Amino acid sequence: MRARHAVAAAATVILGLTGCNANPTAPAEPSGFAKGGTLRILSSSTEFSLDPAKSQSLAITSSGLVLRRLTTWDISPGKPPAVVPDLATDTGRTTDGGKTWTFTLKDGLTFPDGSPITTRDIKYGVERSFAPELGGGLGYHKTLLDGGEAYKGPYTGASLASIVTPDDKTITFTLKTAYGDWPWIVSMPAFSPVPKASDDPANYGKNPVPSGPYRITSYTAGAEAVLERNPAWKQETDQVRTAGPDKIIFQLGQDTTVAAQRLVADSGDDKGAFGANFVPPAQLAQAQSNPSVKDRIVTSSPGALAYLVINTRRVTDVRVRQALAYASDKRAYLVASGGELGGSPASTLITPGIPGRVAYDLYPTTDPAGDVAKAKELLTAAGQTAPKLTLLTRSDGQWSSQAQALQQGFARAGITVEIRTEEYESWFEHVTSGERDDYDLTLTSWQPDFPSANGNIAPLFASTEIGGGGFNLSRYSAPEVDQLIAAATAEVDPARSGALWAQADKRILQDVPVVPLIYTRNSFLRGSSVENFYIGEYPTYPNYLKASLKQ
Amino acid sequence: MTETAPARIWPRLRADRWAVGGATVAALLIVAAAAAPLLTSTDPYTYDLDAVSGSGVPLGTGGGIGADHWLGVEPMTGRDLFAIVLHGARTSLLVGVGATLVAVLIGVAVGATAGFAGGWWDALASRTTDVVFGFPALIFMIALSAVAPPEIPRLLIVVLVVGFFGWPPIARVVRAQTITLRHRTFVVAAVALGARPHQVLWRHILPNLLPTVLVFGTMLIPSMIGAEAALSFLGVGVPPPTPSWGRTIGDAVSWVQLDPMYLLVPGTALFAATLSFNLLGDGLRDALDPKLRELRR
């Protein structure tokens, strides 16, 4: 349980930090996928580890260049995301309504040393993700696979009985309950092959055995990772990766402002570069005012949900929480997030672009700046006309200015908010460990790890996700909601599960454990020679797998 | 120096145009900071989203300069920059003066007792002074501000932390001065007549240290203001939304190409404050020590 919490939570926050949905205006249809050149990716991160067990990377970003999984994502401009076969020949077969799933590998798949990729390598890859020393990766499978909760990884000599490999090409997974989204789960990094002989838990992430079109050829800690072609990869076996550039260099530890300014300037090697981080508001405004740069901004459609967390253990009166919903100044929050290019006002938990979403607004206000009179009324009814609350937030990026935007909004209704800032790591530990429940409010954002309403709701509101690394930051616990989540998760029929998730969405917001603020949009900048750089409807990140360079 | 009476300092100070200029600007800043709510039509916390575009850029010329906002507005919020700078002066001066008082108190206590008592106490105090003097203060301040418990007001922490690292230069000068004073005839006479050590220190030595302390204290204020600005610039100073020049400058750096006024206004204020106190301190020193001044000419 614990491991899964940590995993799911960590995964999503990173996404939240980085993410939103994409696709306002579909860029011009790519003319073709040119081969050659050196692509540079500027990232603020100082870590570059592709250990599939520890990775929270989306299928279409860095790890997808090196590691193939059973399935992967086909992300194209203007089209809904699709799960497609990667190493497998199809997206999985089930004969019992979603409880057991069978996959068969394609022919002709090999590692660089010429040995074939087998299902045993995939089984081993999944098993090692259970090892406690390899925590932190996307771990949805850990609670879904039968026997997963007791399993502690292959290093103790044990193997997971619910994964069966009758031959080199076939693999069968047995789940605890039926799970309709399993084809999406096997697109996650843990479902990539790891040859047992090459495993070295401490260092595998620096030099993983590649199955995709690239391999890591050099890595300088904190500064640079160089990826070059993996000769064993064959284009005809892969329907999503185009492998345009000959070389991909990740430049790490780049200040986001400086990186954006470099991309705006677009000189020298930076012409063939793009930024992995969001463009900060100032550079975004600057880039927009310059016609030659404007074309090189890629903005997603509204995606991740940015929301205000209300600690329901401390703010116990639902009327006070409702007052917070009415007094939230979403307009100021939006401007603090970059304005029109920063997102659009939100009212639901399930984000746009997710199948089954029902739009509604339980706390409607005519003005996005909020309804102060209504908030005051509710506070009077609750007998707390001047509540004093503590808002804990991150010191980096825009979080502080976003917190101030809300603070001034609440002040209009007589609610005094004291802002406390912490470094990201310290904040994350503080809100997810559940040991120090000393904040009333906090701010975060969330994008599901795969396009299903499950990912919008369960990790944030199931009572099992409180503390221990879980991301139920509101400490929200309602038996009725837990039952709805269980029922919706087990439902294999997408239409019926969709309806259940929509019902849960509304039911949760009746209790106001969070205030949805905006559906964020992400903007990225590319150099002038980068082609096929776009964002699909989901996720709100560019697709690294198809980016190529003008030749 | 002991013979310098205030009556003789004043004309000298007045003759120094730079010192008068510095004193005037410093006085203006203090008055403006004290009367900040009277001088501004809005407080520095009120958002004015009509003054910025949809993407948060101030509308109009010079970062939104107009009748409502004399110096323009802050991007992303529309908060009045004039109000932010004036209220920011309160933070800067409060920290500057508060931290200086802390530094002067510690510095004089350590320096005077070390110089007067000598012996092991002098050795210990001098070595401690050297250690604190050579300390990478900024890094330590950042670390301290980060781990300080949230219950203590941040402004107090900043004052104490910045003040604590400012005392070594004062302690050194005061110690040297105390050693010379200790051998002066009036002190020797007082000791010979049976005055107790604390009486000598309090009645004969401290009053004669006052001019030195005054000069050093004045010259310490700008560096304290600078230290607070540096901490706020790095995000560990006073918490938002309390206005602070350092934090505004930090925020403004990324906007400099789009809205240079946003950086220019708090930057000029910080420059004016530190320069004026430095000039005033220089002038005071020259006025108190005419020999030095003649040497310089």
Backbone φ and ψ for B228, nearest 5 degrees, come out as: -65, -45
Position B138 in a domain: yes
Substitution target in B43, B46, B47, B259 with the highest count of A β-carbons within 10 Å is B47
**Mean of pLDDT values over A469-495:** 89
Substitution target in A286, A299, A335 with the highest count of B β-carbons within 10 Å is A335
Query: Can you give the pLDDT at residue A397?
Result: 66
A411 inside 8 A of chain B by CB: yes
B55 inside 8 A of chain A by CB: yes
CB contact under 8 A, B52 and A335: yes
Quote the number of domains for chain B: 1
B118 inside 8 A of chain A by CB: no
Name the least confident of A216-230, A372-386, A445-459.
A445-459
> What distance, in Å, lies between the first and last C-alpha atoms of chain B?
20
Position B212 in a domain: yes
Interface size, chain A vs chain B, as Cβ–Cβ contacts under 8 Å: 79
Query: Can you give the pLDDT at residue A30?
Result: 45
Q: What percent of chain A has pLDDT over 70?
A: 94
ipTM score of the complex? 0.75
Alpha-carbon distance of A183 to A179, in angstroms, equals 9
Nearest chain A alpha carbon to B146: A422
Position B297 in a domain: no
What angle, rounded to 10 degrees, do the helices at A2-18 and A424-433 form?
140
pLDDT tens by residue, A214-237:
999 999 988 999 999 999 999 999
B57 inside 8 A of chain A by CB: yes
Query: Can you give the pLDDT at residue A11?
Result: 36
Helix (H, G, I), strand (E, B) or coil at A314: coil
pLDDT tens by residue, A155-192:
988 999 999 999 999 999 999 988 888 999 999 999 99
B61 inside 8 A of chain A by CB: no
pLDDT tens by residue, A315-332:
999 999 999 999 999 999
pLDDT tens by residue, A487-545:
888 787 888 888 999 999 999 999 999 999 999 999 999 999 999 999 988 888 999 99
**Mean of pLDDT values over A440-463:** 91
Name the more confident of A354 and B272: B272
**Mean of pLDDT values over A187-214:** 93
Range(s) of the domain holding residue B125: 5-291
A286 inside 8 A of chain B by CB: yes
Position B103 in a domain: yes
Count of Cβ atoms closer than 10 Å to residue A260 Cβ: 26
CA distance A405 to chain B (A): 8
Q: Which of residues 74-103 of B touch A (CB under 8 A)?
A: 75-77
Residue A3: band (very low, low, confident or very high) from pLDDT cuts 50, 70, 90: very low
Position B21 in a domain: yes
Residues with Cβ within 8 Å of B146's Cβ and at least 6 positions away in sequence, in order, are A423, B236
Query: Can you give the pLDDT at residue B254?
Result: 84
CA distance A388 to chain B (A): 14
Query: Can you give the pLDDT at residue A12?
Result: 38
A389 inside 8 A of chain B by CB: no
CA distance B98 to chain A (A): 24
CATH number of B154's domain: 1.10.3720.10
Measure CB to CB from residue A282 to each of B52, B77, B255 and give the nearest one: B255
Q: Is the pLDDT of residue A5 over 60?
A: no
Q: Is the pLDDT of residue A271 over 80?
A: yes
DSSP structure string for A158-178: ---TTEEEEETTEEEEEBSS-
**Chain A residues lying within 8 Å of B51, measured CB to CB:** none
B241 inside 8 A of chain A by CB: yes
Query: Can you give the pLDDT at residue A340?
Result: 83
Position B296 in a domain: no
CB contact under 8 A, A282 and B235: no
CA distance B14 to chain A (A): 46
CB contact under 8 A, A339 and B55: yes
Q: Is the pLDDT of residue A18 over 50?
A: no
CB contact under 8 A, B47 and A329: yes
CB contact under 8 A, A340 and B239: no
Query: Can you give the pLDDT at residue A9?
Result: 36
Query: Can you give the pLDDT at residue B291?
Result: 60
Measure CB to CB from residue B56 to each of A338, A407, A420 and give the nearest one: A338
Measure CB to CB from residue A283 to each of B47, B53, B254 and give the nearest one: B254
Backbone φ and ψ for A216, nearest 5 degrees, come out as: -75, 120
CB contact under 8 A, A282 and B258: yes
Q: How far is CA A49 from CA A40, A66, A263, B195, in A?
A: 17, 11, 25, 74
Q: Is the pLDDT of residue A124 over 50?
A: yes
CB contact under 8 A, A285 and B55: yes
Residues with Cβ within 8 Å of A412's Cβ and at least 6 positions away in sequence, in order, are A327, A329, A370, A372
A288 inside 8 A of chain B by CB: yes
Q: Is the pLDDT of residue A379 over 50?
A: yes
Residues with Cβ within 8 Å of A221's Cβ and at least 6 positions away in sequence, in order, are none
**Mean of pLDDT values over A294-308:** 91
Query: Can you give the pLDDT at residue A4?
Result: 33
pTM: 0.80
Count of Cβ atoms closer than 10 Å to residue A45 Cβ: 16
Query: Can you give the pLDDT at residue B103?
Result: 95
Name residues of chain B where pLDDT drops below 50. Answer: 1-3, 295-297
CA distance A79 to chain B (A): 28
